[in-house]
Copies of this chain bind each other. A is one copy, B any other.
């Protein structure tokens, strides 16, 4: 899929070098079908024993959007309100219920995750890992992806994820960049030698 303003980013180098977090969006909508297609790709990424705890809530209705906005930090509200689509990225602490289907080659896999605290930790860690796959996948479709963690996660869980064991990790604002968008200057990154060592 291409946008009206930018070509699809097909290589990983393009995705990382050209991808940005949007400050302003065009009016082009982001369809559920697009998110579904990206999910169908990135779900194949590896996780610990294929636990695959990533869950997504696509906040589509105006009512749900306003409830989500109310749980965001003050400075994040306007962007969550104005994004063509806001997605709550969550971790399912009951991922083990799917393991008979997900790891049929490991009988009793779900029993290895009987301890609730361990399961909650693994759910969060592996869902963050999958969130990395998801951000890359969404950007590869030409979307601007704005991750946001300044929020009352417990409030989101109670209000929007009630009745599940899903725990919100962050919100992704999705859209296509406005033609007149002037991005903030790019912040620097650590050089390899500051972030890596050889033993």
Any chain B CB within 8 A of the CB of A15? yes
How distant is the Cα of A45 from the Cα of B14 in the complex, in angstroms?
11
Most buried by B among A32, A129, A192: A129
Is the Cβ of B45 less than 8 Å from the Cβ of A16? yes
Any chain B CB within 8 A of the CB of A169? yes
Closest Cβ of chain B: how far from A184's Cβ, in Å?
7
Is the Cβ of B58 less than 8 Å from the Cβ of A190? no
Question: Given the complex, which residues of B lie within 8 Å of A40, measured CB to CB?
Answer: 192
Any chain B CB within 8 A of the CB of A48? yes
Is the Cβ of B57 less than 8 Å from the Cβ of A133? no
Any chain B CB within 8 A of the CB of A39? yes
Is the Cβ of A44 less than 8 Å from the Cβ of B189? yes
How distant is the Cα of A36 from the Cα of B184 in the complex, in angstroms?
27
Any chain B CB within 8 A of the CB of A165? no
How distant is the Cα of A103 from the Cα of B184 in the complex, in angstroms?
12
For A20, the closest partner residue in chain B by CB is B46
Is the Cβ of B102 less than 8 Å from the Cβ of A46? no
Any chain B CB within 8 A of the CB of A24? no
Is the Cβ of B196 less than 8 Å from the Cβ of A36? yes
How distant is the Cα of A187 from the Cα of B186 in the complex, in angstroms?
39
Given A102-B188, A128-B129, A195-B39, the answer on whether A140 and B57 have CB atoms closer than 8 Å is: no
Question: Given the complex, which residues of B lie within 8 Å of A17, measured CB to CB?
Answer: 41, 44
Is the Cβ of A189 less than 8 Å from the Cβ of B10? no
Q: Which residues of A contact B (CB under 8 A)?
A: 10-13, 15-17, 19, 21, 32, 35-36, 39-48, 50, 52, 54-61, 64, 92, 98, 101-105, 124-126, 128-137, 140, 145-147, 149, 160, 169, 184-190, 192, 194-199
